[in-house]
Amino acid sequence: MPETVAVNKQLTLIGEGADVVTVWAASAGDHVCRVTADYVNIRGFTVTGATHYQSGIYLIDADQCNISDNTASDNHYYGISLLYSSYNTLTSNTVSNNDYSILLASSNNTPYHNNHTNNTYDNAYDYDINQWDSGFVGNYWSDYREKYPDAVEIGGNGIRNIP
């Protein structure tokens, strides 16, 4: 059943796993999950079906949130977007088949690592100062060879660190 999840208070949403729980955008003009509160945790969901320049998971003015172990796919614009949101963590997400992958705009101090991205255009878009990896576990980008020729693969697992 299509659902738009609007989170405007501190809480934790834990799905049984991204391969089990799928949430679709209720209408074309909605983000699948819109977060406007601090200290929100979202884990274990697939978010899909956002169109008309919307995102699968969208944080605005939300700080200290943790987005992990989710799949954001088949969204018209971004899989995951953060605007005016800082000190959040994005880890172990699969973001694929969107126009764009992860957007960080006016959102500083967000570490994101161990994410796997494969999207139509950019796999990560960062306007600010953020931490692209934890120093030992990086991110996998399908287009890393073209955009980041100096990226180093770690342990043969497809995860790359950007120097």
The reply to whether 151 falls in a domain is no
Contact 160, 144 (CB under 8 A): yes
pLDDT for 32-85, tens place per residue? 999 999 999 999 999 999 988 899 999 999 999 999 999 999 998 899 999 999
> Count of domains in the chain?
1
pLDDT bucket at 157, cuts 50 / 70 / 90: very low
Per the DSSP assignment, residues forming a β-bridge with 95 are 72, 117
pLDDT beyond 60 at 143: no
The reply to whether 147 falls in a domain is no
Which two structure tokens, joined as six digits, stand for 5?
């999840």
The reply to whether 99 falls in a domain is yes
The reply to whether 64 falls in a domain is yes
The reply to whether 67 falls in a domain is yes
pLDDT of res. 144: 53
pLDDT of res. 159: 45
pLDDT of res. 22: 94
pLDDT for 101-125, tens place per residue? 888 888 776 667 777 877 777 656 5
The reply to whether 81 falls in a domain is yes
Average pLDDT, the chain: 81
- Domain span holding position 52: 5-136
């699948």: which residue's tokens?
A: 32
pLDDT beyond 70 at 126: no
Which two structure tokens, joined as six digits, stand for 74?
């088949």
pLDDT bucket at 162, cuts 50 / 70 / 90: very low
pLDDT beyond 60 at 5: yes
Euclidean distance between CA atoms 117 and 108, whole angstroms: 21
pLDDT beyond 50 at 160: no
Whole-prediction pTM: 0.80
The reply to whether 145 falls in a domain is no
pLDDT bucket at 149, cuts 50 / 70 / 90: low
Across the beta sheet with 33-35, what order do the strands follow? 5-7, 33-35, 55-60, 78-83, 100-105, 124-126
The reply to whether 161 falls in a domain is no
Mean pLDDT of 127-133: 57
């949430």: which residue's tokens?
A: 23
Across the beta sheet with 140-141, what order do the strands follow? 22-24, 46-48, 71-73, 94-96, 116-118, 140-141
